Amino acid sequence: MTALLEVRHLTVHYPLPFGLAEVMTRRPRRVVQAVNGVSLSLERGETLGLVGESGCGKSSLGRAILRLTAAKSGQVLFDGTDVLALDKAGLFAFRKRAQMVFQEPHASLNPRLSVAKALAEVLRVHRVCSRTAIEARVLELLETVGLSADLGARRPAALSGGQCQRVAIARALAMGPELLISDESVSALDVSIQAQILNLFMRLKREMDLTMMFISHDLSVVRHVCHRVAVMYLGRVVELGPTEQIFRDPKHPYTQALLRAIPRMDPDAAPPAAAAASEPPSPVALSAGCAFHPRCPQAMDVCRDPPAPALRRSDQAEVACHLYPV
């Protein structure tokens, strides 16, 4: 297998609006350090899960890979070419090969376009097929995602959440992408519908040989559909490894806390223990050293000192924690 996508030291910072305090004191503008030097790669045909609490930078990372958000520094190599250096034409061609499905199904579709028109627009703009073939291709796409042809005339407002998400998936698939990034695409759906959409993703992945990045805060979903999982905490990947390994034997104290907090379906399980104390701090004022140390039950002196621990191999996984020295 070869890597389809390789992310190297990717950093995304969002500047905060200038406050009076900054102007008066001539201090530099404060920034939200959303993604801090993340490196990871995706093999062709693999599904990588990206998990973490809200604000950990998982969506920013996904968006930066597709250049929907500007990265501050780093490299995104897609099939060998650096996405961040692409010019307009290059970016247009890249978008054909890498697509995204978003969380809010209704918000990501144009409310004034019927489903068929929305799909036809994509086909036309990207010149995927000849004008005469567009209609047939739209019907084919609807069928691929399990929608009946008569839904094509409807506008998004007349669709349910699950149907909308199918349309969004059809739109992403219209130009036959190799990489599909799903950003919380099943989080807003009810359980019975969520299972249908997850099945659809798994089937499409098999049939079209897609490479997928699955961003989700729902660890059970990630466990079900992903080959490997990257756990993010405040802009950094703290653990990365095969799904089975991460869930069976989590190494990083944060991964352990996260897994302990998932409500289990087992009716005989003990009620929730007081999990990781406190809440994730703001990504504006990151503490020096390991970002997790203020919440970590096993924090040592070294954790407070910069630099933050880097990812190191431990077993089959990689962990960024001082508990696992080289």
Partner 1 sequence: MSAPVLRVEDLTVEFAAPGGPLRAVDEVSFELAEGEVLGLVGESGSGKTLTCRALIRLLPSRRARITRGAVRIDGLDLMTLPESAMQRVRGERIGMIFQNPMTHLDPVMTIGEQIGESLRFHKGITRREAGRRAVELLRQVGIPDPGLRSRSYPHSLSGGMRQRAMIAIALAGEPRILIADEPTTALDVTVQAQILRLLLDLRDRAGLSIILITHALGVVAETCETVAVMYAGRIVERAAKRTLLRRPLHPYSQGLIRSQPGTGAPLAELPSIPGQPPSLAELPQGCRFHPRCAYAIPRCREIRPPLADAGAGRRSACLRWQELAQAS
Specify the residue, 126 or 295, whose C-beta has the smaller distance to partner 1.
Answer: 295
User: Buried b vs exposed e over 164-184: b needs ≥16 C-beta within 10 Å?
Assistant: bbbbbbbbbbbbebbbbbbbb
CA geometry: angle at 173 spanning 162 and 11, to 5°?
95
CB of 30 to partner 1, least distance (A): 17
CB of 31 to partner 1, least distance (A): 20
Contact 46, 211 (CB under 8 A): yes
Contact 231, 258 (CB under 8 A): yes
DSSP state of 292: T
Specify the residue, 52 or 74, whose C-beta has the smaller distance to partner 1.
Answer: 52
CB of 280 to partner 1, least distance (A): 7
d(CA 20, CA 25) in angstroms, rounded, equals 9
CA 199 to mean position of chain CA atoms: 18
- Phi and psi of 226, rounded to 5°? -105, 145
Contacting residues for 166 by C-beta, under 8 A, at least 6 apart: 145, 146, 147, 197, 200
Contact 48, 42 (CB under 8 A): yes
CB of 141 to partner 1, least distance (A): 20
CB of 283 to partner 1, least distance (A): 13
Bridge partners of 317, per DSSP, are: 314
Backbone Cα Rg of the chain: 21
Two structure tokens written together for 279 = 């809440």
Specify the residue, 81 or 160, whose C-beta has the smaller distance to partner 1.
Answer: 160
Specify the residue, 24 or 273, whose C-beta has the smaller distance to partner 1.
Answer: 273
CB of 181 to partner 1, least distance (A): 19
Contacting residues for 325 by C-beta, under 8 A, at least 6 apart: 312
Q: Which residues bind partner 1 (CB under 8 A)?
A: 53-54, 160, 162-163, 190-196, 198-199, 202, 217-221, 223-225, 243-244, 257-258, 260-276, 279-280
Specify the residue, 158 or 288, whose C-beta has the smaller distance to partner 1.
Answer: 158
CB of 96 to partner 1, least distance (A): 27
CA 158 to mean position of chain CA atoms: 28
CB of 189 to partner 1, least distance (A): 9
Specify the residue, 48 or 76, whose C-beta has the smaller distance to partner 1.
Answer: 48
Specify the residue, 33 or 194, whose C-beta has the smaller distance to partner 1.
Answer: 194
Specify the residue, 76 or 232, whose C-beta has the smaller distance to partner 1.
Answer: 232
